[in-house]
A and B are shown apart, each in its own frame.
Chain A
Amino acid sequence: MSALRGLLRKEVYHILRDRRTLVVIVMLPVVQVILFGSAIRTDVRHVRLAVVDPGPDHQTIALRHRFAAAGVFTTVAVVARADDLEPLFQSGRAQEAIVFEPGFADDIARGEPARIGVVTDAVEPNTASLLQAYALGVIQSFERDLSRQSRPARSIAIVPQVRLRFNPTRESSHLFVPGLMAFVLTIISSLMTAISLAREKETGTLEALLVSPLRPWQIVVGKVAPYVGIGFVSVLLILAEARLVFGVPLRGSLTLLLAEGLLFILVSLSLGILISSRTASQRVAMLGALVGTMLPNLLLSGFIFPLDSMPTPLRWISNVVPARWFVSIARSIMLKGVGLDYVWRQTLVLAGFTLLLLAASIRSFKARLE
């Protein structure tokens, strides 16, 4: 037992003496929370609008005023010819354009359909469809008022009353903090463990450890225990910062959340051990850990991109990404305030992963002895 304690102390010294890595580990969660909280947003608040108005008349001016009054549109340019739009769109100065044709008011006065074009920069399709919806809304209300002036008609309206449950203001920070915990924990647990074990291999010191009186499981425990501690501290850091800076709520039980966090740390650690036992150099371990854990973590966990919308094979693959289950658990506990009775299924899956990966990693670690 005292041998184990010695190994532990050595590992802690290793980590504490490597100042730069330590700084990154501490800074990482702190900076990431701020970045994700303010950078990742998908709502559209300002639209740069260009207007093509070859023959301004009182109706085109009226409609242009409607756009200005809508609040989201900022008119960046008024040009006379549709050809002038191309450079505006290519340089990104305009995102959307309304294109009038000459004689707009005359057409309306004669009762003929007056033509309007709505052009959107559809490079990013979601923004484009939101922009189109905004513009159509303005034009439709303009048209409705025109019709009302000439022929009052009763219209039908289905009024949607929208409730955004659990996060009514759609604060992005509230959404990202649970995912961020999974992300940071993976970096610390999987990557650090994989690299630190691969380094002992590369420098040949693992052999020295193996011929020492330490048992294989003791070596593994000694190597990973400090990272459990670091991971735990960073979870606390993220939670505190999210609370203080962004006011992210914790509606459920803190104890449950921390326990689930611990479970996830164990999963990530065993993944790290497994990767390092299968690779020979730090470089391969690093890239392996990156591809094997970080990317699926970012992409297939529902952290940033909604899982429901993905093609079926990817959704299927996402089931074997442990982070997916942890993100779901953390979101439920923090934002929905539910207890174990709602997340027991996900917890069970995580526990299953832990047992499986731990068994596999200890086995492959033992195999190295021969």
Chain B
Amino acid sequence: MRRVLYLAHAEFLHVVRDRATLAQVLVVPVVQLLILSNAATFQIRNTPTTIIDLDRTSTSRGLISRLAATGHFDVREVSSSFEHADDRLLSGATTLVIAIPHDFESSLVRTGAAPIQLSVDATKGSSAGIVQAYAGRVIADYAAELEPARAARGPARIDVRVRSWYNQSMDYRIYMVPGILVALVTIIGTLLTAQNIAREKELGTLEQLNVTPITRTQFIAAKMLPFLVLAVVDLAIGLTVGRLVFGVPILGSLPLLFGVAAVYLVTALGVGLLISTVVETQQQAMFVTFFIISGYLLLSGLFTPIDSMAPWVQVVSQVNPVRHFVMIARAILMKGAGLDEIARPLLVLFASAVIALSVAVRQYSKRAA
């Protein structure tokens, strides 16, 4: 046990003395959190919009002002030329073109129905569908407002109350922060561990360690401990920033969250260790880690809901520890879930920690390759 602590201490000093790395480890999470949570949003704001108003009546102008008032659309231009609007769409200067036909008002009055054409640039990220849904809702609301029979029909027959649980203000950043924290500790834990041992290999200091009486388990425990602590510190820093800057709720128990994080980190560090046993150089460690982590993160439901993924991807993602930790982190922070609600994913995390650790210990051989 003393040996483990000595080595862990030495390891820790290495990290703390390397100012550049330390600064990166401590500052990067804060910066990332600030940038990521603002950038990583699928929320639609200020969609550049061009309107072709051929009707030019109070009804069509009313619709335009309704669209502009939502904040989702940035009405840059009201034009009357289809060619011009098409050109804007091709050059990427506008994302949405709304064409109001010249008999818009009169046909609404005569028949009660009028078409309106929406052209969305579907190459702009994944936002096309959302832009379309928002525009559709504004248009439907406007139509309801125009309805002359509304007053005559008396009060609504059904009184609908909509409640948004867990995120009343529908703030996308509150959703992203817990996920980003998970990504952060994953990257720090896995990358630093893999790279650390690869460096010892490259420098030849691993051989020196191998000739000491230290056992495999002791070696691995000592290598993991400092990075586990670092990652937990990172999580704490990130949580503080999330709480103070973004007002992320912490409804559940913090000790529970950190406990789960420790279990999860054993998996993340174990994977890093495993990578380090198959690579020779830091460059390789970096690439292999990067390759594996990007797959993990993409399939974790961090950026996009798992429910929307292709069915086979959903099945594959069941064995992804990141997915379960993301789910748990959101459940504890935003929903105030306790041990009962997160029991199943937690079990998966435990299992993966045990597997990752035992495989890593088995794979690591003390002889120099």
Contact = CB atoms under 8 A, between A and B. Distances in A.
B24 to A, nearest CB: 5
Nearest to B333: A123
A284 interface: yes
Contact of A39 (B74, B95, B304): B304
Interface string B63-106: 10000000000100000000000000111100100000000000
23 contacts: A20-B280, A24-B291, A31-B295, A39-B309, A42-B130, A90-B336, A115-B159, A124-B175, A124-B305, A143-B158, A147-B153, A156-B148, A160-B115, A160-B135, A175-B123, A191-B287, A192-B283, A195-B282, A302-B125, A309-B41, A309-B43, A310-B38, A332-B90
A71 interface: no
A358 to B, nearest CB: 24
A342 B305 CA distance: 35
Given A35-B295, A127-B305, A163-B118, A117 B161 contact: yes
Most chain-A CB neighbours within 10 Å: which of B89, B92, B118, B334?
B92
Interface residues of B, number: 117
Contacts of A127: 305, 307-308
B298 interface: yes
Contacts of B146: 156
B175 A125 contact: yes
A87 interface: yes
A267 B88 CA distance: 28
Contacts of A38: 309-310, 312-313
Interface stretch (B45-53, B207-215, B223-231): B45-53
B109 to A, nearest CB: 9
A111 B121 CA distance: 45
Contact of B165 (A89, A146, A175, A196): A89
Contacts of B120: 162-165
Given A36-B298, A172-B126, A336-B123, 12 more contacts: A42-B305, A111-B157, A117-B161, A118-B160, A133-B133, A147-B157, A154-B149, A163-B119, A165-B119, A191-B287, A310-B41, A332-B90
A170 interface: yes
A204 interface: no
A328 interface: yes
Contacts of A21: 283-284, 287
A121 B126 contact: no
Most chain-A CB neighbours within 10 Å: which of B74, B160, B199?
B160
B286 A195 contact: yes
Interface residues of A, number: 109
Contact of B166 (A25, A122, A286): A122
B32 interface: yes
A338 B89 CA distance: 11
Given A306-B44, A309-B44, A43 B308 contact: yes
A46 B160 CA distance: 22
A122 B21 contact: no
Given A40-B298, A42-B308, A308 B281 contact: no
A12 to B, nearest CB: 16
A159 to B, nearest CB: 5
A162 B132 contact: yes
B263 interface: no
B164 A133 contact: no
Contact of A117 (B42, B147, B163): B163
A35 B38 CA distance: 24
Interface in B276-317: 278-284, 286-288, 290-291, 294-295, 298-299, 303-305, 307-310, 312-313
A142 interface: yes
B167 interface: yes
Given A126-B43, A172-B126, A157 B304 contact: no
A167 interface: yes
B125 A114 contact: no
A123 B165 CA distance: 8
A45 B24 CA distance: 41
A316 interface: no
A108 B163 CA distance: 22
Interface in B1-45: 18, 20-21, 24, 28, 32, 35-36, 38-45
A27 B287 CA distance: 11
Most chain-A CB neighbours within 10 Å: which of B130, B155, B168?
B130
Nearest to B280: A20
A44 interface: yes
Interface of A: 18, 20-21, 24-25, 27-28, 31-32, 35-36, 38-46, 87, 89-92, 95, 108, 111, 113-130, 132-133, 136, 139, 142-143, 146-147, 151, 153-168, 170, 172, 174-175, 187, 191-192, 195-196, 199, 281-284, 286-287, 291, 295, 299-300, 302-311, 314, 328, 331-332, 335-336, 338, 342
Contacts of B123: 166-167, 174-175, 331-332, 335-336
Contacts of B114: 157-159
B216 interface: no
A306 B44 CA distance: 8
B171 A309 contact: no
B32 A295 contact: yes
Interface stretch (B137-145, B233-241, B347-355, B358-366): B137-145
A176 B113 CA distance: 38
A305 B41 contact: yes
Contacts of B132: 162, 164
B39 A41 contact: no
B149 A155 contact: yes
Given A146-B157, A162-B118, A308 B45 contact: yes
Most chain-B CB neighbours within 10 Å: which of A142, A153, A196?
A153
Contacts of B190: none
A336 B337 contact: no
B160 A42 contact: no
A123 B330 contact: yes
A142 B155 CA distance: 15
**Interface pairs A-B: 5 shortest CB-CB:** A122-B164, A167-B122, A153-B149, A125-B170, A113-B159
